[in-house]
Amino acid sequence: MKASRGGEAYARIYSVVRRVPRGRVVTYGAVARLAGVPRGARQVGYALHALAEADRDVPWQRVINAKGEVSPRGEADWASLQRSMLIAEGVVFDQKGRVDLTIYGWSDALVNEV
């Protein structure tokens, strides 16, 4: 079920995602590390999947996989929506639908940036 409030790890994950600046993207692995779950990349994805309407302040669209591409779930439409939302923020996708993480990637080294 949606344990959006059951797990403490989830709360930390959401808190990290909320800190990602507009127009930037972050990988699941980076969020996991910043949330204190070094190998919990999959957990991050699971946590975001459990997001409910009440958590709409969490910019989940800024979380992508290490390849720099939006992770495909069952419904491909959802992924395209995420892509649109990011483009609206100024994130650029290349012809293969991937984001250049060296430019838009946000990591702990950039936490001080606003």
Binding region for DNA (CB under 7 A) out of 47-55, 87-95, 102-110? 47-55
50 touches DNA by CB under 7 A:
yes
Shortest CA distance to 89 belongs to which of 78, 104, 76, 111? 104
105 touches DNA by CB under 7 A:
no
Q: CB within 8 A of 39, min separation 6: which ones? A: 32
Cα–Cα distance for residue pair 41/29, rounded to 1 Å: 5
67 touches DNA by CB under 7 A:
yes
Of residues 96 and 114, the one with the C-beta less far from DNA = 96
Cα–Cα distance for residue pair 112/81, rounded to 1 Å: 29
Residue 47 Cα to chain centre, angstroms: 10
45 touches DNA by CB under 7 A:
yes
- In the set 16, 25, 41, 91, which binds DNA (CB under 7 A)? 41
- In the set 66, 87, 88, 111, which binds DNA (CB under 7 A)? 66
Residue 11 Cα to chain centre, angstroms: 14
User: Are 63 and 57 contacting, i.e. CB atoms less than 8 angstroms apart?
Assistant: no
- By CB under 7 A, name the binding residues for DNA: 1-3, 6-10, 27-29, 37, 39-46, 48-51, 60-61, 63, 65-67, 70-71, 73-74, 82, 96
